[in-house]
Structure 1
């Protein structure tokens, strides 16, 4: 469906009555091609939302409602982001929360300025490169590394929210926190998706606090529709509302975080009060590049998202995708572009405070076009090698695929035209499976580092080091038209698949002229420099034979994206929220 037709709808209508059912290590490629970070729980049929003055798109209706409440009260995009994230902590705890980290893009419409803020978690000061090696010197099993305190990084989400509110907020800090406090105290009902995630999770119930909150006495997940109240989280938020993030990064809450991490009975971590007190938000240079008549902007390292998306789009720019349309030929080029982008990502991208990342070289137009020349129209390369971008330093590095997992995304445009694209995470489903006394879960973000610190005597760029931020694939994205005007706000969860999800959504919007809902819902496909992956049960599945005839090794898999997209139109805004999750795009 095209934008011109969908924009005529008067309001957002979302079919949420559908009951969802749960669809039933080593470093390197096996880690990279880990299963979807959150289990598939079916789909909800939706149509695009429309609005004239402002719009929010978030992964849960209660979170989107909180954002709309704040915008209706005169709040800014930054104000709404606080409210949405804190409610997501309650209603979508498997994906994000104040125990995790996030990346945020902010567009200031009045001064035409894009700012990107890094709220990624950091490794504790005691962390060492061999953190995830067993006594035999081999990488730990992923699940053994995740569950417990060993995998927990210093959280950054809350400080990111405070910093963005300090810069761009309009309403009082306490006011934007109030919707989450109210919901925590009054309670909310367990949604079908949350129930499905809880039912499929095997380690969360081993944590006594999480077990008491999410599960019945017999170990079964609390049923759909059960009212959950979280007075502990309400108390945490009240303290933060009164004292700011100082209440989280020091004092009783900080002491409890440290005790929870270091006191795990079988897999303790080593976060200290000093680690929490030292955490800082980093402002990064945006990563921007041209795609046809558009300008695409995203987050720089330690996220690899924007670089890889730029590389994929730059390679695809050599093709007439509008003429090709969705199909096996486009999927061939998209997958080959993904292979080349992931080869570079795996070698070159890590925390720029520790590694000289050749960002400008990796997104250089001439370099990307030279990489496009490696793609054969007739035959898959199956496995790409990293290139030699300009401006790189002579560094002896070994590649690392890494394991990256779950997440949520928030897209917002306020009444002044300011926008936020924020991708936020606790890493795996329910993070480290540790709940604090303050009513929130802790991340397992440190497993985004390479488990193997060196290969063939060469250090891995994304190795564990004290104070380092693990590489990410999160790709919050803003799109600008040829006149520099904001056109779209896009992002998705999905671990390392985020890169493909976002790039595929962008070509769906820009080349195939889909409305945001159709673009979010379209079948996913691509490659992370391994097999070509096609999403089961979607349009993409039909392309298997044609791709195999070009030499692709094809895998049909679940691909649980959670795309939230907003597009500006002459009439206002059109939004889409991925039908694979429970979100909505709403506004006034």
Structure 2
């Protein structure tokens, strides 16, 4: 039996089964987009993933009658090979699964955990100062106990239709035969970052001429193919017991800042099954993972947005973007103060209608000072946070022929994790996702999971039928990327691809970072007049993948900023009951 968080149910939707949302009063705005009274396209399937080979691996499983979770296993195995800068089998993930039969939403938490020997000050130097991030990220102690493989195995055992051993064929063949390095992967391999210049990465990415591999060249990974063969035949024990576990422990114990991780830490890892945190938005219900994910922060942000006139203004109005920025800053202030893998996170309080209304009342058409955290019901004092969240993440979506859906965000934390490899995959640096300063809700503790900004989300209609799914990589900017796209899709009635392509704006504290070159000059000027001067952001681009069901058809999109694709295929008509 796994621990389960409390499902947020309220009287407004008491007639609905499962995790029901709170509603919010509407402000003066045009009528929200009406939810189409249609079901998901029968026997149609959908996959969106960050690389065409990963999408094809998932579709190949669906063609053979596999479930959405079966396809997720195949997609993750392929992403670990073809997009190693972003995710991999040495990392962690959150999966949100929608069940078409029960209309329920379940969260599978495969977030990495701190080893039993971890200490709050493990990233402080001898003088008690936080270590420079480039030093910490390359260290052995940066790696948390990997979680994604055991999480996928648990979900697949519950919801799979194919045998586990039959989900890795495409990735094994691709690892052995090689794949073409994309421009994006080639750019990261040849960057000046610490991880691609670490010894393991340099050795792996060396081409036949002795230099670093370039875009358009072929990369092979026989070590990864060998590991996948063992994983296919042995199940998750191939990762968590035996030779691979021993190699992980040995690798993270090398160097000056050695990890305390043991084989017992790896063998003892357990994923957590949680109930989603859900809340109403317009005529829909948004469901995302609870803490240590920041799903409740996304829901709080959208609840504040609902109390503004953003929908009436549209994407060309600078006031709409200013109000969005102000709502984002309020959300981040609360998220940073309260959310983490700690007891007493005020999940209900953060989306309490009265509390949200009070926070939304602070949103004006001009930017004010950087907001402080509020005091939501269920808490007394905000906690000081000093987390510096990095980026190196991917997101994918699957909808199978039975209408079940998976929205999954997966990560090795920074690009290429720690730069250290075992059996053809990179080890995560998830421990650096904790606060280096030993205080606040995201301080390091043994067995603890670092706070995450990953918010894979499913969108339901009020009858709890599936309306869509969305998610993105991007470090703490994920919350901005996903909320922006949701506003575009739902409030501004844009096609998913167009909503994804809207300029990104990340407002947190006193900073307004974003894609300044993608906003119209007049729009930038109007925002600046109101106190929001957008500066070119730093860190990871969005990698949004989304799907919305309109008039019985999948409207899907993949972020043009990355290599992703969104594809729909029809399955043969079913001759027998599923």
Distance 1:112 1:561 in 2: 29
Where does residue 371 of structure 2 map in the other structure?
384
In the alignment of these two chains, the number of paired residues is 527
Distance 1:408 1:542, change over 3 A: farther
**Is the CA contact (8 Å cut-off) linking 2:62 and 2:400 kept in structure 1?**
yes
Could you tell me which residue of structure 1 aligns to residue 279 of structure 2? 289
Q: Is the 8 A contact 1:149 1:267 kept in 2?
A: yes
- Displacement of 1:396 in angstroms is 7.0
Q: How far apart, CA to CA, are the structure 2 residues paired with 1:210 and 1:373?
A: 50
Deviations 1:9-48 (CA, angstroms, capped at 9, x unpaired): xxxxxxxxxxxxxxxxxxxxxxxxxxxxxxxxxxxxxxxx
Provide the residue aligned with 1:421 in structure 2.
407
Partners of 1:428 and 1:444 within 8 A in 2: yes
Superposed displacement of residue 563, structure 1: 0.3
**Contact 2:190-2:196 at 8 Å conserved across structures:** no
CA-to-aligned-CA distance 1:539-566 (integer Å, 9 cap, x gap): 2665332222222353233561000111
Match of 1:272 among 262, 287, 294: 262
2:86 and 2:392 in contact (8 A); partners too: yes
Q: CA deviation at 1:212?
A: 2.0
Q: 1:468 aligns with which of 448, 462, 476?
A: 448
Q: Superposed, which structure 2 residues align to 1:179-328 within 5 Å?
A: 179-216=170-207, 220-263=211-254, 265-304=255-294, 306-326=295-315, 327-328=317-318
Cα distance in structure 2, aligned partners of 1:145 and 1:494: 20
CA contact (8 A) 1:525 1:540 kept: no
Q: Secondary structure at the match of 2:479?
A: helix
Alpha carbons 2:48, 2:546 under 8 Å: kept: yes
Contact 1:193–1:582 (CA under 8 A) maintained in structure 2: yes
Shift of 1:484: 1.9
CA distance in structure 2 between the partners assigned to 1:564 and 1:199 by the alignment: 26
Q: Structure 1 residues 90 and 375, CA, compared in 2 at 3 Å: closer, same or farther?
A: same
Sort the Cα spacing of 1:201 and 1:176 in 2 relative to 1 into closer, same or farther, 3 A.
farther
With over 3 angstroms needed to count, the CA separation of the structure-2 counterparts of 1:405 and 1:51, relative to structure 1, is farther
Task: Determine the structure 1 residue equivalent to 2:27.
Answer: none
Cα distance change, pair 217–166 in 1 and its aligned pair in 2 (3 A): same
Q: TM-score, normalised by structure 1?
A: 0.87
Separation in structure 1 between the aligned mates of residue 290 and residue 338 of structure 2, nearest angstrom: 13
Q: Which residue pairs with 2:357 in the alignment?
A: 369
Q: Secondary structure at the match of 1:67?
A: helix
Q: Distance in 2 between matches of 1:220 and 1:202?
A: 16
Change (3 A) 1:205 1:425: closer
Structure 2 residue 384 is the aligned partner of structure 1 residue 398: yes
Do structure 1's residue 62 and structure 2's residue 33 form an aligned pair? no
Moved more, 340-349 or 545-554: 545-554
Aligned twin of 2:346: 358
Q: TM-score, normalised by structure 2?
A: 0.88
Match for residue 16 of structure 1? none
Q: Which whole-Å CA distance do the structure 2 matches of 1:123 and 1:310 have between them? A: 27
Change in Cα spacing, 1:81 to 1:153, as seen in structure 2 (3 Å) is same
Aligned to 1:409: 395
CA distance in 1, matches of 2:209, 2:257: 25
Deviation, 1:210, is 2.3
The alignment yields a C-alpha RMSD, in angstroms, of: 1.7
Instruction: Work out the CA distance in 2 between the residues paired with 1:486 and 1:565.
Output: 13
Q: Distance in 2 between matches of 1:232 and 1:412?
A: 28
Which residue in 2 is equivalent to 1:453? Answer: 438
Any idea what SS the aligned residue of 1:544 has? helix
Give the conservation status (yes or no) of the 8 Å contact 2:516–2:534: no
* Matches of 2:482 and 2:393, distance apart in 1: 14
Which residue of structure 1 lines up, in the alignment, with residue 507 of structure 2? Answer: 527
How far has the Cα of 1:387 moved from its partner? 0.6
The structural deviation recorded for 1:200 is 1.0
In 1, the alpha carbon distance for the partners of 2:394 and 2:368 equals 32
Measure, in 2, the Cα distance between the counterparts of 1:534 and 1:224.
Answer: 27
1:331–1:526 Cα contact (<8 Å) kept = no
Residues 536, 395 of structure 1: alpha-carbon distance in 2 compared, 3 angstrom cutoff: closer
Secondary structure of 1:54's match? strand
Change (3 A) 1:173 1:121: same
The aligned residue for residue 18 of structure 2 is: none
Corresponding position of 1:564: 545
Does the CA-based 8 Å contact 1:215-1:222 persist in structure 2?
yes
The aligned residue for residue 171 of structure 1 is: 162
Please list every run of 5 or more consecutive structure 1 residues that lacks an aligned counterpart in the other structure.
1-49, 455-459
Preserved contact between residue 401 and residue 450 of structure 1 (Cα < 8 Å) = yes
Tell me the CA shift for residue 571 of structure 1: 3.7
- SS of the residue corresponding to residue 487 of structure 1 reads strand
